[in-house]
Chains A and B, each alone.
Chain A
Amino acid sequence: MGAPGSAVAGLDARAGRLQVPARRPGQAASRPTVEITHLRKTYGELVAVDDVSFSVTEGEIFGILGPNGAGKTTTVECAIGLRSPDSGTIRLLGLDPQADRDEVHEIVGAQLQASAFPPKLRVGEILDMYRSFYREPADVGELTEALGLSGKCHDYYKSLSGGQRQRLSVALALIGRPKIAVLDEMTTGLDPQARRDAWELIEGVRDRGVTIILVTHFMEEAERLCDRVALIDNGRVVALDTPARLAAQARGGKSVRFLPSASFDDRLLTALPEVTRVDREGQHVIVTGTGELASTVILALAAAGVTARDLQLDSSNLEDAFVRLTGRHTDKEGALT
C-alpha cells in the first residue's frame, strides 16, 4: 500500500498547497475592522456629514480630527448605530450597525461626549450595572486597577475628579471587552497630566488588541497616539495620513510675522526659495513659506540692514494645519485648471 499511499499523500500536499492562499490567516486579518464608504447624513437642511470614507485596520489607533461642527461626532454616531445614515455603508467587522445593532453593541464600546452619571451612584454600582449588559464582560477589579480607580469603587460619582470621571467613562466603554472602542473627545477638559495619563491608558488598551477610533481636536493628542488620522472639514475627509506626514504638510505652510525696523522691497523675500508669499497687515509683515523660514528671513533682512522686531512664529496647531491643508487642496485644484 506504500505507493498508492504516497500518491494520496502527494495529492493531499498539492491540494493543501492549492488551498493555502484562500486560508492564509493574514487575509482574514487584513479585512478592515471598520469600513465606512461614502457616508452621508443630513439633519433637514444641515449637511452634517457630506461624504466620508475611511477604513481602520485591526489594532490601529485611528484619529478623527477636525474643528467643531465638522461632522466628527455624527460620523462616529452613525458608525456605532446611534444614527442611521442617509446613504453610504458602514461595516464593523462585517456587521451593519443598523441591521445588526445588538451584535454591534456587544463588540463596540463607546465613550461619548458629555456623558455623566447620577451624583449619588457609587463607582462600583455603575460598573456592576454596565458589566451585566455584556455577554463576556471584563473583570471589574482588573479594569479599575488598569484605570487607576481601584480604590474608588465605594465612592459616589459626585466625589470623583474630572479625570477620574473620564477614566470611569473609558472603563465603561471597555467593560464589555469590545473589539472596537470609540472615544469621543475623551481628554477635553482634562489637565495636562490627566491628559497624558489618558494617552498611556489608550495605548495600553490598544496593546490588548482593541481597535480604537479617537475623535479629537487636539493635534498633539493625534500626533502622540494615532497611527493614522483623518482630517474632517465640512463633512468631508480633507486629508488622511499618518500624523507625521500630516504635520510635515502643516509645517510646510508655516508663517512668520514681524515688524520691520525699516521699509524694504517685498522682492527681497519673495526671491528666497523658502518663501511662498509676503503679506502686509498694517506695519506688520507676514511671510508664508517652507523649511527654515524664520532664520532665512531674518538673515535676508539683516543683509539688507533691516531688523525683524516683534517676531512671531505661528504654532502649528490643528486649526492652522487645517487651514493649510484645505488651502492646499484648493491650490492644487487651482493648479490643475
Chain B
Amino acid sequence: MTSLTLPRSRTARRAAFGQIMLNEARLTWRRPVGLIAGVAIPLVLLVIFGKVSKFQQHSAALGGLTPFDLYLPILVVFALAMLALLGLPIPLASYRELGLLRRLSTTPVPRSWMLIAQGLVQLCVVVAAIVIMIIVSMTAFGAPAPKSPAGVTVAVALSAAGLFPIGLLVAAIARTANGASVIGRLAFFPMMFFAGLWLPRALMPDVLLTISNYTPLGAAVEAIQDSMLQGFPPVAPLLVLAAYAVVFGFLARRFFRWE
C-alpha cells in the first residue's frame, strides 16, 4: 500500500471478516451435511453405546474401564475427523469450483479470510459437538466429569490443529467438491480404524497400537482419553499432533490452489 491510501480501520476489517463468518455459518446451517456427519452421527452413536448395558460394565481387559469410557473419546475424535476431513474441505473445494475464491482476490479483502472463516466455523461446530457429547454422557449415562478440563482443551485444540490442515490438503488435492468428498471419506475410514472405532486401542495388539500412536486420530484419542480419565495428557501424543499440524500445514500451504 502506498502512504497516500487511507488505511482501512481495524473496525472495518473486523466487520468484513464478520460478514464472511456470518455467511459461512449460514451456509453450514442451511446445508447441514457437515452438521449431520460431524454432530448428529457421533451423538446418535454415543446414545446407542450408552443404552447398551454391556458397554456400561467395568472390564478387567480394559483396565477396569467400561467400553463407554473408551468410546466417548473415540466419538469426540469421530466428530473432529468428520468436520476436519469432510466439513472443511467440501465447501472450500466448492468455493474454488464456483470461482468464489478467485472473485474474492479482486476485492480489497484477503482471499485467505474465506479459509480462516470456514475453519473457525467448523471449529465452533466441533467444540459445540464435543460439549454436547460430554454433557450427554455425564447426565444421561453417568460418565465422570473430565479429569482435566484444561487437558481436554489442549488435546482438542492440538487435534484440531493437526487435523484441519489435513482437511485443507484434501481441499487442495481435490478438483471439485465431489472429489473432496470422496478423498475425505477415503482418508476418514482408515484413520478412524486407528482411532479404535472398530477395535478400541486398549484391545489392539502391540504392533497396531504402535502404529495408532503415530496416526493423527490415534494420537488424538490417546490425548483426549487420558485427559478425560486420568489428568493432563502425556507429551508424546501432543507432539505427534503438533508434528501433523506443522507438516500438513506446510503441505496445504504449498499445494492449495485458489482457482
- Chain A residues within 8 Å of B, Cβ to Cβ: 80-82, 95, 100, 102-103, 105-106, 108-110, 112-118, 120-121, 125-126, 128-130, 132-135, 172, 176
Indicate if the CB atoms of A120 and B27 lie closer than 8 Å.
yes
Which residues of A sit under 8 angstroms from B103, Cβ to Cβ?
Answer: 110, 112, 115, 172
In the bound assembly, the distance between CA atoms of A108 and B103 in angstroms comes to 12
Inter-chain contacts of A113 with B (CB < 8 A) = 99
A-B residue pairs in contact (CB < 8 Å), sample of 27: A80-B106, A100-B1, A102-B5, A103-B5, A105-B107, A106-B5, A106-B108, A110-B106, A113-B99, A114-B99, A116-B98, A117-B98, A118-B94, A118-B98, A120-B30, A125-B22, A125-B26, A129-B19, A129-B20, A129-B23, A132-B16, A133-B16, A133-B108, A133-B109, A134-B107, A172-B103, A176-B107
A130–B106 contact, CB under 8 A? no
Bound form: Cα–Cα A82–B99 in Å = 13
Cβ-defined partner of A128 (8 Å) among B2, B19, B99: B19
Task: Give 5 new A-B contacts, CB below 8 A, not counting A105-B106, A105-B108, A120-B27.
Answer: A82-B105, A114-B99, A118-B27, A118-B94, A134-B107
Interface string of B100-124 (1 = CB under 8 A from A): 1011011111000000000000000
A34 to chain B: closest CB distance in Å?
15
The interface residues of chain B, by DSSP majority, are classed as helix
Q: Binary interface profile of B, 232-247, with partner A (CB < 8 Å = 1, else 0)?
A: 0000000000000000
The total of Cβ contacts below 8 Å across the A-B interface reads: 83
Q: How far is the CA of A105 from the CA of B108 in the complex (A)?
A: 5
B106 and chain A: residue at smallest CB distance: A110
| Cα-based distance from A128 to B2 in the complex (angstroms) | 27
Q: Looking at chain B, what size class is its interface with the partner chain?
A: 20 to 34
Question: CA A314 – CA B1 in complex, angstroms?
Answer: 52
Please indicate the chain B residues that have their CB under 8 angstroms from the CB of A121 in the complex.
23, 26-27
Taking a contact as CB atoms under 8 Å apart, the answer to whether B100 and A117 are in contact is yes
CA distance A114 to B98 in the complex (A): 7
CB distance from A263 to the nearest CB of B (A): 58
Given contacts A128-B19, A129-B23, A133-B108, contact A120 B102 (CB under 8 A): no
Q: Quick check: is B15 within 8 A (CB to CB) of the other chain?
A: yes
Which residues of B13-69 have CB atoms within 8 Å of chain A's CB atoms?
A: 15-16, 18-20, 22-23, 26-27, 30-31
Known contacts A80-B106, A114-B99; is A132 also within 8 Å of B1 by CB? no
Contacts A103-B5, A121-B27, A125-B26 given; indicate if A116 touches B99 (C-beta within 8 A): yes
Chain B residues at the A interface, C-beta cutoff of 8 Å: 1-2, 5-6, 8, 12, 15-16, 18-20, 22-23, 26-27, 30-31, 91, 94-95, 98-100, 102-103, 105-109
| B6: A residues at CB distance < 8 A | 135
| B102:A112 contact, CB within 8 angstroms | yes
Give bound CA distance, A100 to B4, whole Å: 11
A162 and B147 CA atoms in complex are apart in Å by 57
Residues of chain A contacted by B31 (CB below 8 angstroms): 118, 120
- Complex alpha-carbon distance, A206 and B184, angstroms: 47
The distance in angstroms between the C-alpha atoms of A326 and B8, with both chains bound, is: 47
Contact: B23 with A133, CB < 8 Å? Answer: no
Select the residue from A115, A121, A126, A176 with max chain B CB neighbours within 10 A: A115
* Residues in B neighbouring A106, C-beta threshold 8 A: 5, 108
Shortest Cβ distance from B128 into chain A, in angstroms?
A: 21
Measured in the bound complex, the distance between the Cα atoms of B100 and A125 in whole Å is: 15
Give the chain A neighbours of B23 by CB distance below 8 A: 121, 125-126, 129
Docked CA distance A102–B16 (Å)? 15
Report the separation of the CA atoms of residues A331 and B22 in the bound assembly, to the nearest whole angstrom. 60
